Amino acid sequence: MTQRGGRPYEANPCYPPSGGRVAHGWDDLAATVRSGRCIVAVDGPAIANWDHLVQSLTAAMHRRARAAEFISTSRWTLAWERLKDATSSAELGDDPDFERLPSGDLGELVRAPGRLDVPEGTVLFVYGPGASLVPHDALWYADLPKRYAEAAVTAHGGLNLGQPQGTGPATTKRLFFVDWPLLDRHRDGLVGVLDQWVDMQSPHDPAFIDGATLRATLAQLSHRPFRTRPTFNTTPWGGHWAQEQLGHRPGAVNTALGYELIAPEAGVLVGLAGEPRVELPFQLLVASFPGPVLGSRAHTTFGSSFPIRFDYLDTVGGGNLSVHCHPREDYMRDVFGWPYTQHESYYVMVGSEDQDIFLGLREDADVGEFRERAHEAHGTGAPMEVTDYVSVLPATQHQLFLIPGGTPHGSGQGNVVLEVSATPYLYSLRFYDWLRRDSSGGLRPVHVDHAFKNLDTSRRGAAVQRDLVQAPRVDRQGAGWHEEVLGRLPEMFFEVRRLVLLPGAVAACDATSSFHVLNVVEGEGVIVEPFEGEPQSLMYAETMVVPAAVGRYRVRNVGLGRTRVVKALVP
């Protein structure tokens, strides 16, 4: 791993709990159950290992000489075919990859009964997705981060929400677009009444915090700078920069996707050094304290949706990304069900004039011919020269490329791109994927019809260079530092800026009107110093959220050379 001075990249940033402690173990968890007859509802995602939870709690309650019974919410969940019908749209029901986000809630799928009869002296555990809908005396949430569900479904294991055993493999289509939105909406509504939050990542020794500590910790996080836990995934085009430079996942096939901050999947680790810790969903924090995290203006516009994401596209030693676009505003709303669309930008952290960024149409592109060739490649496997239609620009290091919805784009091989983008992140509509194969040997899916329905034909030739490849403009400055606007377009709700600091320089910033997201793209690192609260270090390639409640803060260069920090915000 390459060292850049200071401490290395921190893959597991962690923050202390507030007002309590992180406990662990099934016996300690069972000890929280009140005496006498009671009902404990244990809610959680479909991917949780419910069989193991039942076995472990049975043994723990037996050791405490307590009678325990268990009922799964599956007995009240709609039959699988009815559930699928209730959560499928007419337009996308047969689509192999996408589905419209459901507008309802989990209670429409889990028809919970009234108060259940419990024998005297017995503890009844009602467990599974929707358990909180059953009248209860105590409420737990047994969580597994979403990366576990994605890994299980991708490996043809696990089940979708409400899916019985023996009904075929689970699908990422339902996982991403049906299960997760429903489960998140349900979970976020429980935080104010939870008695225990249980982290099931170590199934034989779960970590947990009580509800009061959970709420106090979320409140504390909403008023301080913090990092979410990064995750790196592999894909067929992936490279090895994160392995070689950050020391991440050294034995993995590659580190193609670095999820630094993607609100629907990100988590915040909570615990003390050398002690157990729990991972709390970042979205749970935003839903609990949207005003302090987002700021009043962004909260009014986006509700409890954190609207900006940061992630890495690593193709160093890998291949070209697909050439794709993202939905335009009306298509995203009317077809997919998201209230805002997936505008993006590429900041080139590693690149050169000899590497490529695909962006926009060529001036002379024949869109009809492009469509024909894309359909032919998809239907017959015939290769196409996508650069006959899509512009190729040099991947100049530290250049920002703006990518509004509908703009064809992709990063070439040999680059590390920091994507600074809108939060929707699962809607890459591929025109062409270089006839690449997936892990099963089949052609990776493309979405030619969706892609051409969203293609913005005005993003071509000179207009691309003029509008989407902007020169930095100095907006603020002080002793040894300045702040530049790197990219801003009327149709894109966020803007990208960059702090440039000489050694020892200290820049003044203010997040009061909108949260900031920071990433050190050059140099050793900085110290982020709130006017109230503890300073936090942020080193090369790390990403930090500065909630609006932090207000004024300083960014101090701690390196021996120039440091550059990308900043994104909703102006």
Q: What is the pLDDT of residues 35-91, one digit of tens each?
A: 999 999 999 999 999 999 999 999 999 999 999 999 999 999 999 999 999 999 999
pLDDT value for 168 = 87
pLDDT value for 475 = 97
pLDDT value for 440 = 75
Three-state DSSP at 555 gives: strand
Query: Which CB contacts under 8 angstroms, 24+ apart, belong to 147-156?
Result: 147/231, 147/233, 147/265, 148/47, 148/201, 149/45, 149/46, 149/47, 149/175, 149/179, 149/180, 150/175, 152/47
Q: What is the pLDDT of residues 145-173, one digit of tens each?
A: 999 999 999 998 899 999 999 998 999 99
Residue 502 corresponds to which amino acid? L
Three-state DSSP at 386 gives: helix
pLDDT value for 2 = 39
DSSP string, 329-344: HHHIIIII--SS---E
pLDDT value for 443 = 85
In this prediction, residue 438 has a pLDDT band, given cuts at 50, 70 and 90, of: confident
Mean pLDDT of 477-482: 98
Q: Token match 């530290």: residue?
A: 398
Cβ(40)–Cβ(61) below 8 Å: no
Q: Kindly report the CA angle at 460 between 459 and 463, in degrees rounded to 5?
A: 75
Buried b (16+ CB within 10 A) or exposed e, 7-20: ebbeeebbbebbee
pLDDT value for 1 = 36
Q: What is the pLDDT of residues 248-285, one digit of tens each?
A: 888 889 999 999 999 999 999 999 999 999 999 999 99
In this prediction, residue 333 has a pLDDT band, given cuts at 50, 70 and 90, of: very high
Q: What is the pLDDT of residues 184-199, one digit of tens each?
A: 999 999 999 999 999 9
Mean pLDDT of 225-251: 93
pLDDT value for 199 = 98
Mean pLDDT of 488-501: 97
pLDDT value for 371 = 98
Three-state DSSP at 150 gives: helix
Phi and psi for 60 in degrees, rounded to 5? -65, -40
CA 112 vs CA 75, 119, 181, 184, 186: distances in Å:
9, 20, 20, 19, 14
Check residue 12 and report its DSSP letter: S
pLDDT value for 5 = 53
**Sequence-distant (≥ 6) Cβ neighbours of residue 362 within 8 angstroms:** 387, 388, 389, 390, 391, 460, 461
pLDDT value for 329 = 96
